[in-house]
Structure formats: C-alpha cells, structure tokens
C-alpha cells in the first residue's frame, strides 16, 4: 500500500466513508505503563495512579516529551526524513554510535570513503548486501574497481555505481566484496522488519523484565562466550537499535536462567512458556534469513546455544546455513590487515570463532562431517584486543568473571582448532594403513597434552590451584575430556576397520583406554554440585554424557572377564543415578538425551545374570525367538532364557523391538573380532523420545511420509 494512502481507507473503494472513531479525551494522556502495554489508561482520581498501575503495582508516570520505545517503533515509517532517522530509531533497526557491523552488511572500508552517487542512493544501500568475491576472480575485480572508483575516475563513478568494495589491496591476496540484493520481494509482516512482530509478542510476555533478562544473559552466558559486544548491545537495546531477531535470541537463551536473577525472583513471576518463546524466536530467525546480514549470523550463533535440545535436525540445518552465510560475508578470512575499524575487525574474529565452535562440536556430537575445514580459513585466535578486554600478563587468578571467561574462551578456541584436525579421522571413508593412522593419532595426543600444559594454573584441572568456580572452567574441562574420549574411540575404531590383523593384546589395550577415558567423564560429571550445573553453557555437553555412557556399556559387553563388565555397568549406573537426581531436583535439561537413550539399558544390565547372558551369547539375539520357543516346548530346558522375538514386553510394559543384526556384521567370537553385539544397544536404547531419531532402522520413507519435515520451522520443544 502506498505511503500516501491512509490506513483507514478501503483500498478497493477509496471514496467509502470512514467509520466513526470512538471519542477519547486526550486531556489526560495515557501513562507510560499503559502505553507500553497498549491498554486503556483509566484514571479515576486526578494526580493518582491509574487503575492498571495500581493492579500491577507499577509506577504511574507520564513522559510528555519522550515517547516510549514501542510508540517510537510504531510511529516511525519508511518515509521518515534521513536527518530524523539519524536521531530516532527506525523500523529497520540501525546500530548505535560506534556499533560495528551488527546490522549493515555493506560498509565502506575505512581507508576509502566515496560520496554517494546518483546511481546508488541511501535507499539502495539499505537493500544491498556484500558478498565476497572468490580468490580466482578477486584480482580481476580489483582492477575493475580502480576504473570505477570515484578516486581514480570521477566521471565513470557518477555515470554508474561501483559494484565493488576493496578491503585489502594486497596484489597477491586481494579481498573484494561485490554488492548484491539483500532480499527477495516478499510481503512484509508487522512493520516490515524481520522479527518485529515476534519481538513485540515476546516483549509483551516478559515486560517489564526485558532489561533484566538481558542482564541475565550478559552475566551468565557472555563471560565464557564473549561473541557480542556487551556495551554496544546494551546501548543499542536501550535506544531501540538492536535487530529484533538478535533481541529475541537473547531473551530465549536467558529463559533457562530465569530464576538465577534475584531481581526476577523477587517478582515471583513464573517462567514463561519456553516452547512458545522459542517458536517465536525461530520464526524471527527464519524471517531474518530471508534478508540476511551480519546480525543474522550473530542471531544464529545464539540460536544454536538454545536449550533444551530437542530438534537435532533443525540445529544441523542451522549450522549449515550460518556457515554458508558467514563464508559469503568473508568471515573465514583474516581481517587484521584490512582497511576496517578495529572494532569491526575484532567483531569479525569473535564471530568466526563462535561459528567454528558450533560447527566442530556439533560434528562431534551429531555424527555428521563438519562444514568447515582448516584449509579454508586463516582467522587468528582471539586475544585481549579482539575480545575488548584488558587481560593481565601474569598468571594470577583474576577476580573479574569476564576476564576469567576470556581466558577460558581462548582456550576453548584453541581446543576447537585441535578438534578440527581430529574430526577427519572419524569421517574419512578411505581405509588408511594402520601404522599411518596411529602415527597421526599420536601426533594429536601430543598436541592435546601440550594444550593442557599451556593452560593457566587456575584453569588446568590437574593443577592444585584449579578454580572450579571460574567462568567457563568446568565447561572447558568437560570439553577436554570429550576430546580425549574421542581419540580413544578413534584408536579402537581403527583397530576394527583396518584390513590388517591386530593381536588380542592390542585390542585389550585400546579397550582399557576407552574404559579409562569414559570413566574420567563419569567421575567428573558425578562430582558436580547442584550450583555448578548452570555453568555448562555449551549445549553439546548433553552429548558428552551419552557418549561416555554408551562407550562404557560397550566395554561392559566386550569385557574380557565378569569383574570388568560389572565395573563398567556400575560406572554407567552411577552416571544415570546422578543425572536422574539432577533432573528431578534441578530440572537440568542437559540430562534428557542421556537418560532417554541409556537409562533403560543400564537398568537391564545391572542384573548380573542378564549381563552374563549377553556376554556369553553376543549374537544370540538374531535367533532369540527360536530359542524361546524351544525352551518353552522342552520341559528339561536349562540355561538363560532369551526374550521373545517380537512379542516380548520389557520391565516398563512397552513392547520390545525385535533383535536385528547389522547386514555386514561379522559372526565370529567377540574375543577375536572385538565387535561385541551392536544389536543389543540398537534394540534397547530407544531414541523415540527425541525428534528426528528412531530406535530402529526402517526403510527410508517417501518425503511426504516423513513427520519430521513439519518441524523444520520450529524447534519442536
């Protein structure tokens, strides 16, 4: 609808009479609280609080010369003069003063500022985005850019706009961006800004606790994961300049820590419906991807921090699209020599490492190859300059939580870089010689030991001065144990899939290493106190618990003697008991995946006779039904009774899934091939409680028969 047509007019019959507007006296304007809620302000007595303020116990005040944030958003339109837009927030949020790159994707390098040309107006710039030019064509674009630049040829630059922006003039490795359209022609929602409608709904739910919810994020999640610039984000939030999708993500990520704020607890407000809030946030995120820019990358990084974790498919898709968007913006390139403002450089470095952390740890947790490989990025490790924090040079324990978190974040980035070199060993499909594989594993183990030795003493778990309460310390320790567990798994995997014959002593040795690595994760987890569980900000922690539990159960089934098997089961039971207690007492969401997948099988294996049955007959599940029938027909049958095939019922009253054997599974002695019985774990570890996971392996259905496709637009929580 054109701007010059009144919203009250019928678009089909412009001459139709306007409906009568109900009378409202403006002698006494609405108070700030009622105006923000868009509610009727009823003041029964002059100079007294209105009815709604008395009901909510709010301060009844009226700001005559300064409208509220919601009123400003609603009042401003796209045809606001530019000089006014520079003073007041616009419907399309603009960064606050000094707010680097959070909204605009097309920004001129600091070294070259050209006047606006008639062919590229301010309105055109708002609809443009920057896309990096590939290395093969960057030199060609650099030469063309000089011909079209206003610095070298004024006539040409005014005749047609310059489609390129140069960030690095290095002739050997130039960095060129090309201006491309930002969005498709879509029908706008709300006020036409992505996420506006969803943010207003979320703000209505949490008001007036929105600012306090932002403080919860920056006091708990920001210190160990300093991706955002706290000062500029809060300034933009106060001046209505923060992108709506990013504001929605900050709200949603903070909901699990609702009761950690004394100010929120004092209000006795219940926790908002997390499912509803996350669905609004995901909707805002999807709207933002229709016209993506730099703030979309930041919002997606926070979206991947979202908990509780229930939609693995959505998270996997989110990782893929944020990696693709970040590479189109050139975030994988080292910006230290570019002609940008230092704050823009530091923001790009922090953002890239946030993406890399999600990609690498999601690959380890989800079992999918990573999207990012070391050969395609050269961004340096974060330091005090890029983190915008003054870090002391000595090794003393800092009292500031943000400095503690900066040290742990830098260590996590370094550990993530090591993990990125290990992941190809998991997903490579070509079989390599056993000797070369173990040579590479030893190199990674040496690098991991050197990483541990390089930690600050108060950040190193083996040091007597280790500070458990430091921001990010416990999360970093569990991540380190998870990488060690991964190396032990790979070593055992290489033994099994190698074409070379391995002696039994080697297999026993690597199984013992796996047991030790899994036990380290279990012992660390069960040593946690209740007030420490909220320090695990990385959602992939949930998968580390499951990884340790499943490996321990496998070691129990493949153990060389009964004592070792029972010891492994006891360790798994210890982990399940702790996680169940944390779930019941503190409603810890990170326990859901492990409990849903492993608790039932651990309870079964706690039966010594049942455990010995599966250890002595590791492949008997394939013919379990026949053995059951033979045992029922024979009056003098002896030995362990196997569960019936297809019609058995477990201890919870649920029908058991049939025992299945993998198509390529060997049928030899487990002491020789070391495979054990995967059908046991496949049968009893039910994944039905998790969206996108299935307990069995049915034939792949047609696309229109897949129920999980309906959940792509939501988190499914």
Q: What DSSP string describes 144-165?
A: HHHHH-TTT-HHHHHHS---EE
Contacts of 212 (CB under 8 A, 6+ apart): 261, 263, 264
Q: Which helix (H) or strand (E) holds 53?
A: helix 51-56
CB atoms within 10 A of CB 613: 17
Strand order in the sheet with 128-132: 128-132, 175-181, 164-168
pLDDT of residue 29: 81
Q: Number of helices (H) and strands (E) in the chain: give both, helices first.
A: 27, 3
In sequence order, what DSSP letters do the residues of 275-296 get, joined into one string? HHHHHHHHHHHHHHHTS--HHH
Which residue, 216, 252, 189, 204, is CA-closest to 70?
204
Radius of gyration in angstroms for the set of CA atoms belonging to the chain, rounded to a whole number: 30
How far apart CA 280 and CA 275 sit, in angstroms, is 9
Distance, CA of 709 to chain centre:
20
Classified as helix, coil or strand, 546 is helix
pLDDT of residue 671: 34
How far apart CA 433 and CA 1 sit, in angstroms, is 68
Q: Is the Cβ–Cβ distance between 314 and 694 less than 8 Å?
A: no
Torsion of Cα atoms, 118 then 124 then 129 then 130, to 10°:
0
Q: Is the Cβ–Cβ distance between 606 and 576 less than 8 Å?
A: no
CB atoms within 10 A of CB 464: 6
Annotate 466-515 with three-state secondary structure: CCCCCCCHHHHHHHHHHHHHHHHHHHHHHHHHCCCCCCHHHHHHHHHHHH
Q: pLDDT for 493-528, tens place per residue?
A: 888 776 556 567 788 888 999 999 999 999 999 999
Which residue, 286, 367, 354, is CA-closest to 323?
354
Omega prior to 208 cis, within 30 of 0: yes
Q: Is the Cβ–Cβ distance between 323 and 359 less than 8 Å?
A: yes
Classify residue 419 as exposed, middle or buried by CB count within 10 Å of its CB (0-12, 13-18, 19+).
buried
pLDDT of residue 4: 42
Backbone angles phi, psi at 559, to 5 degrees: -65, 150
Contacts of 420 (CB under 8 A, 6+ apart): 356, 360, 370, 372, 373, 374
The answer to whether the Cα torsion of 257, 258, 261, 265 is positive or negative is: negative
Contacts of 244 (CB under 8 A, 6+ apart): 93, 193, 194, 195, 196, 198, 199, 284
Query: Which residue has tokens 């019936």?
Result: 644
Q: Is 703 left (phi over 0), alpha (psi -120 to 50) or beta?
A: alpha
Instruction: Name residue 131's beta-bridge partners.
Output: 178
Contacts of 466 (CB under 8 A, 6+ apart): 457, 458, 459, 460, 473
Contacts of 123 (CB under 8 A, 6+ apart): none
Torsion of Cα atoms, 219 then 224 then 229 then 233, to 10°:
-40
Query: Which residue has tokens 């070369």?
Result: 436
Contacts of 435 (CB under 8 A, 6+ apart): none
DSSP tag of 97: T
Roughly how many angstroms between the first and final C-alpha of the chain, as a whole number? 37
In sequence order, what DSSP letters do the residues of 98-132 get, joined into one string? T--SSS-S----TT---PPBTTB-HHHHHTEEEEE
pLDDT of residue 25: 53
How far apart CA 19 and CA 711 sit, in angstroms, is 42
CB atoms within 10 A of CB 516: 13
b/e per residue 118-135 (b: at least 16 CB within 10 A): eebeeeebeebbbbbbee
How far apart CA 556 and CA 166 sit, in angstroms, is 60
C-alpha distances in angstroms, 272 versus 257, 268, 278, 535?
A: 12, 12, 10, 21
In sequence order, what DSSP letters do the residues of 392-427 get, joined into one string? -SS-SPPS-HHHHHHHHHHHHHHHHHHHHHHHHHHH
Q: Is the Cβ–Cβ distance between 555 and 568 less than 8 Å?
A: yes
Q: Are strands 164-168 and 175-181 parallel, antiparallel or unpaired?
A: antiparallel
How far apart CA 481 and CA 521 sit, in angstroms, is 6
Low-confidence ranges of the chain (pLDDT < 70): 1-27, 63-129, 134-172, 176, 178-192, 498-503, 618-717
pLDDT of residue 279: 93
Please compute, for residue 49, the number of CA atoms within 13 A of its CA located in the half-sphere on the CB side: 12
Q: Is the Cβ–Cβ distance between 435 and 495 less than 8 Å?
A: no
Crossing angle for the helix pair 244-254 and 196-206, to the nearest 10 degrees: 40
Q: pLDDT for 553-576, tens place per residue?
A: 999 998 888 999 999 999 999 999
At residue 104's C-alpha, the angle toward residues 101 and 109, to 5°, is 65
CB atoms within 10 A of CB 38: 12
Give the global pTM.
Answer: 0.71
Residue count (the chain):
717
Instruction: Name residue 177's beta-bridge partners.
Output: 132, 165
How far apart CA 590 and CA 478 sit, in angstroms, is 13
Q: Which helix (H) or strand (E) holds 613?
A: helix 608-616
How far apart CA 137 and CA 176 sit, in angstroms, is 9
DSSP tag of 699: P
């Amino acid at each position: 609808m054109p701007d010059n047509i009144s919203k009250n007019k019928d678009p089909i019959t412009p001459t139709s009479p306007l409906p009568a507007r109900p009378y409202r006296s403006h002698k006494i304007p609405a108070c700030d609280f009622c105006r923000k809620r868009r509610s009727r302000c009823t003041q029964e007595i002059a100079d007294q609080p209105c009815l709604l303020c008395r009901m909510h116990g709010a301060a009844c005040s009226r700001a005559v010369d300064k409208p509220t944030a919601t009123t400003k958003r609603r009042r401003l339109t796209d045809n606001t003069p530019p000089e006014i837009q520079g003073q007041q927030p616009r419907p399309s949020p603009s960064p606050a003063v000094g707010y680097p790159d959070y909204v605009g994707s097309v920004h001129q390098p600091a070294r070259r500022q050209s006047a606006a040309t008639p062919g590229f107006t301010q309105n055109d710039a708002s609809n443009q985005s920057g896309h990096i030019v590939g290395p093969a064509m960057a030199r060609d674009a650099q030469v063309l850019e000089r011909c079209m630049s206003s610095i070298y040829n004024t006539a040409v630059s005014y005749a047609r706009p310059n489609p390129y922006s140069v960030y690095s003039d290095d002739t050997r490795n130039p960095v060129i961006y090309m201006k491309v359209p930002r969005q498709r022609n879509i029908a706008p929602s709300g006020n036409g800004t992505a996420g506006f409608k969803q943010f207003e709904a979320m703000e209505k739910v949490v008001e007036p606790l929105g600012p306090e919810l932002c403080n919860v994020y920056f006091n708990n999640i920001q210190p160990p994961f300093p991706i955002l610039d706290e000062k500029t984000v809060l300034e933009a939030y106060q001046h209505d300049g923060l992108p709506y999708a990013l504001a929605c993500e900050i709200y949603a990520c903070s909901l699990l820590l609702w009761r950690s704020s004394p100010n929120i607890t004092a209000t006795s407000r219940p926790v908002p419906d997390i499912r509803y809030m996350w669905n609004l946030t995901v909707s805002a995120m999807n709207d933002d991807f229709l016209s993506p820019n730099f703030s979309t990358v930041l919002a997606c990084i926070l979206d991947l921090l979202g908990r509780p974790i229930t939609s693995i498919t959505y998270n996997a898709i989110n990782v893929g699209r944020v990696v693709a968007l970040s590479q189109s913006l050139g975030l994988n390139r080292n910006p230290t020599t570019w002609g940008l403002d230092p704050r823009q450089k530091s923001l790009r470095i922090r953002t890239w490492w946030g993406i890399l952390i999600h990609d690498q740890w999601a690959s380890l947790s989800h079992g999918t190859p990573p999207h990012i490989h070391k050969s395609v990025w050269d961004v340096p490790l974060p330091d005090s300059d890029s983190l915008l924090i003054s870090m002391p040079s000595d090794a003393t324990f800092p009292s500031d939580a943000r400095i503690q978190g900066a040290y742990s974040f830098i260590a996590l980035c370094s550990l993530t870089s090591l993990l990125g070199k290990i992941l190809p060993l998991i997903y490579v499909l070509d079989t390599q010689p056993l000797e070369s594989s173990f040579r590479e594993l030893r190199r990674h183990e040496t690098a991991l030991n050197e990483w541990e030795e390089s930690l600050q003493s108060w950040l190193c778990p083996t040091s007597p001065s280790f500070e458990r309460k430091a921001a990010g310390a416990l999360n970093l320790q569990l991540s380190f144990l998870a990488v060690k567990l991964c190396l032990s798994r790979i070593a055992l995997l290489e033994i099994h899939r190698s074409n070379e014959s391995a002696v039994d002593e080697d297999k026993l040795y690597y199984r013992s290493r796996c047991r030790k690595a899994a036990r380290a994760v279990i012992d660390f987890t069960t040593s946690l106190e209740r007030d420490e569980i909220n320090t695990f900000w990385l959602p992939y922690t949930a998968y580390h618990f499951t990884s340790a539990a499943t490996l321990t159960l496998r070691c129990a089934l493949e153990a060389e003697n009964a004592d070792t098997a029972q010891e492994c089961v006891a360790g798994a039971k210890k982990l399940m008991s702790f996680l169940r207690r944390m779930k019941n007492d503190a409603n810890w969401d990170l326990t859901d995946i492990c409990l849903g997948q492993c608790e039932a099988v651990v309870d079964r294996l706690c039966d010594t006779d049942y455990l010995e049955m599966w250890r002595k007959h590791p492949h008997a599940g394939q013919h379990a039904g026949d053995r059951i029938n033979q045992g029922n027909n024979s009056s003098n049958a002896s030995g362990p009774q196997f569960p019936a095939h297809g019609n058995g019922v477990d201890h919870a009253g649920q029908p058991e899934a049939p025992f299945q054997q993998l198509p390529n599974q060997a049928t030899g002695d487990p002491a020789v091939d070391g495979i054990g019985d995967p059908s046991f774990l496949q049968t009893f570890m039910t994944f039905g409680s998790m969206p996108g996971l299935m307990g069995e392996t049915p034939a792949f259905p047609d696309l229109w028969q897949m129920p999980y496709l309906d959940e792509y637009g939501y988190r499914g929580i």
